[in-house]
Amino acid sequence: MSDDREKELERELSELRDAVLSDWVKVASHATDTLWAMEQTLSWRITKPLRAAKLLRNKVRQVGPSRAIRIAGNQLATKLRPGR
Amino acid sequence: MTSTEALQSAMLARLGVAAEALGIEVGDVAPGDLLQILSRRIVESRRTDEAWLVYIAVSGSFPTPHQLTNFLSLIELSTTATAMLAVLEGTLAGASQRHVLGRTLRVESERVVVDANFCATQEHNTGIQRVVRETLPKWERQGRSIRIVAWTADSTVMREIDEYETDRVLSWNERRYPVGHRHPMESVEFTETIVVPWKTDVFLPEVPLPSTTAALACLAEFSGNSVTLIGHDAIPLVSAEGQPNSESERFAHFLTVVKHAHRVIGVSESAASEFRGFASAVRAQGLAGPSVTAVPLAGEVPARAAGTRRPGPRELPLVLCVGSHEPRKNQEAVLFAAEYLHHQGHRFRIVFVGRGSRAVTQDFDARVRRLRRRGLDVRSLRSLDDEGLWALYQEARFTTLVSLHEGFGLPVVESLALGTPVLTSNFGSLAEIAAQGGCLAVDPRSDVEIIEGMRRLLDDDDLIARLRSEASNAASRTWSEYAQELWQAADFELAVRG
């Protein structure tokens, strides 16, 4: 194979790598943008309390009301507490 | 430039930094070619530290142990021809988080990387924060080579701290900026600079946030950096009774970092022995565990703390009880003893100082109000500034801290540093402090001993005089001494390298 042909193939390979990388970047950023966009929708935000209530109801079924409320309280406290 | 091109350009810059750290010379190459060079490198070297670094450069985030082991498996299965695809596949999950791909990267190999996230971002200042905010400024002044970092809001990477945060960590006693400044939240316009420790020491003086423990555990296990941490105590596990479940769970996850750490430096012999116990426990997993030493904390109080008057002869003697309000601190037993002694005809004032959750303080404060109505001069202060606290220490006839479990016992050494005797516990870190003089040690599980101890300290002027003399003669360690000993005990690789 001539040097010119080898260089041409290397250039093509390099372009292919860039194309793969570019697609990968698009996929990664699209995934986060899509998730973020969904979380910003009105329906997602106004149904947040409903989803929380549903989670609590499921937890009550699993472990009983007093334990479920304690778990929920602890989770909330962990989120709010600054640390030790 | 499109957003994809901008992200690709940011990645190219990160890959260039990683290549330089790995000693790979690259000229002006396209992003794909540079990624291929780095991918081939880690496939050929099979080194976990290099894989860890490349993962961060590609994804803009620190991996968790699960993410990195998956990544390593893909690398293991790939050849140099398929290396780049393996790297892209293995980092996609890490990169699929908001804003991570636009980050810039800085490798830190010259200085000890100190994770002071909590102190940098929060205004809270009790035990652990005081240790950090006294020690790091001393290290700076002693010319130690450190770089203080915090974590991004999404807890995915260590980042540089801004000047306001630096002020909060290094100039706590002489703030230059207004209190309460917030680091800008991540946004499209705001680009974080990742700080990646590389072939250096990472020092953890705080208990990290739960959201960062997985990334820290991965760093400790795989990155090749040497991790040293301060062991404050193991209270959330060893005294889980009386602790919120979430606190114990959080601490258990912190131990996943400790098990891969190089060294733990306990704040007392007692705290060190708890971590030694954990270090020997992880041998069941085939791990060496960290080496554990102890450097007791300092007992220095600021110069401005001195100089408050002692009460005059006609005033009732003051008993002071300092500490956050939680069951292990045993404030209930002290209040019971005070009530008993009041019934026996002893006349004194007693003040409790310390915050606590409403669940714990509600009943206690109600009991305090009830006892006040019955004539006991008792107060419970949930909020008090440093000046107010120093004044109470000096006004007090004696201080009580009959805790059931402490990592150290800062209120005891601070009281002694101001010449005020202390009634304290006869085991653990409190007994270590008591052995130096100025204290009367009792069994905190015995109401009888607490009552008898308080009675002696209220009635016996000779005993008080002797303990005051012992407290004044005891050489209290300064924070500068602590900082120096801590640095020596840490024995950082960088320090060894010179």
Q: Which of B301, B291, B269 is nearest to B407 (CA)?
A: B269
Strand partners, B150: B159
| Exposure class string for B121-132: b at 16+ Cβ within 10 A, else e | beeeeebbbbbb
CATH architecture entry for B305-476: 3-Layer(aba) Sandwich (3.40)
Q: Which of A16, A78, A84 sits opposite B207 (nearest CB)?
A: A84
Task: Say if the Cβ atoms of B124 and A83 lie within 8 Å.
Answer: yes
Task: Say if the Cβ atoms of B7 and A77 lie within 8 Å.
Answer: no
Q: Which of B414, B444, B463, B127 is nearest to B271 (CA)?
A: B127
Task: Say if the Cβ atoms of A25 and B206 lie within 8 Å.
Answer: no
Residues of A in contact with B97 (CB under 8 A): 32
The span from the CA of B17 to the CA of B23, in Å, is 10
Which are the contacts of B436, defined by CB distance < 8 A and separation ≥ 6?
B416, B474
Hey, where are the domains in chain B?
Answer: 3-102, 107-298+483-497, 305-476
Residues of B in contact with A32 (CB under 8 A): 96-99
At residue B188 the predicted structure's pLDDT band, cuts being 50, 70 and 90, is: very low
On whether any CB of chain B is under 8 Å from the CB of A22, the answer is yes
Structure letter (DSSP) for residue B187: B
Hey, where are the domains in chain A?
Answer: 1-46, 48-84
At residue B187 the predicted structure's pLDDT band, cuts being 50, 70 and 90, is: very low
The span from the CA of B87 to the CA of B53, in Å, is 12
pLDDT recorded at residue B113 = 97
Which region among B107-116, B424-433, B476-485 has the lowest average model confidence (pLDDT)? B476-485
pLDDT over threshold 70, residue A79:
no
At residue B175 the predicted structure's pLDDT band, cuts being 50, 70 and 90, is: confident
The span from the CA of B380 to the CA of B8, in Å, is 59
Nearest chain B Cα to A76, which residue?
A: B246
Task: Say if the Cβ atoms of A25 and B85 lie within 8 Å.
Answer: no
Q: Say if residue B78 is exposed, middle or buried (CB neighbours under 10 Å; 0-12, 13-18, 19+).
A: buried
* pTM metric for this prediction: 0.86
SS3 B234: coil
On whether any CB of chain A is under 8 Å from the CB of B81, the answer is no
Q: Which of B4, B122, B128 sits opposite A25 (nearest CB)?
A: B4
Which whole-number Å values give the CA distances from B352 to B126, B325, B334, in the listed order? Answer: 16, 9, 10
Sign, Cα dihedral of B26, B30, B32, B33:
negative
Q: Which of B4, B36, B209 sits opposite A22 (nearest CB)?
A: B4
Q: Is the separation of the CB atoms in B206 and B128 below 8 Å?
A: yes
pLDDT recorded at residue B160 = 92
CATH of the structural domain B107-298+483-497, one choice from 1.10.3470, 2.60.120, 3.30.160, 3.40.50:
3.40.50
Which residue of A25, A39, A66, A74 is the best one to mutate when testing the B interface, meaning the one whose CB has the most B CBs within 10 A?
A: A25
Q: Is the separation of the CB atoms in B97 and B64 below 8 Å?
A: no
Q: Which residue has the higher pLDDT, B405 or B476?
A: B405
At residue B37 the predicted structure's pLDDT band, cuts being 50, 70 and 90, is: very high
ipTM: 0.77
pLDDT recorded at residue B186 = 43
Mean pLDDT (whole number) for B296-319: 76
Q: For all residues of chain B together, what is the average pLDDT?
A: 90
At residue B81 the predicted structure's pLDDT band, cuts being 50, 70 and 90, is: confident
Q: What distance in Å separates residue A50's CA from the closest CA in chain B?
A: 24
pLDDT over threshold 80, residue B204:
yes
At residue A78 the predicted structure's pLDDT band, cuts being 50, 70 and 90, is: low
Which whole-number Å values give the CA distances from A68 to A39, A51, A65, A79, B393, in the listed order? Answer: 26, 15, 5, 17, 43
Structure letter (DSSP) for residue B307: -
Cβ neighbours, 10 Å, residue B440: 22
Chain B segment 21-40 residues within 8 A of A by beta carbon are: 30-33, 35-36
pLDDT over threshold 90, residue B247:
no
Q: Is the separation of the CB atoms in B90 and B474 below 8 Å?
A: no
How far the first Cα of chain B sits from its last, in Å, is 45
Which whole-number Å values give the CA distances from A16 to A49, B33, B58, B95, B150, in the listed order? Answer: 47, 10, 18, 21, 38
Q: Do domains B107-298+483-497 and B305-476 have the same CATH topology?
A: yes
Nearest chain A Cα to B123, which residue?
A: A82
On whether any CB of chain A is under 8 Å from the CB of B92, the answer is yes
Percent of chain B past pLDDT 90, that is, above it, reads 72
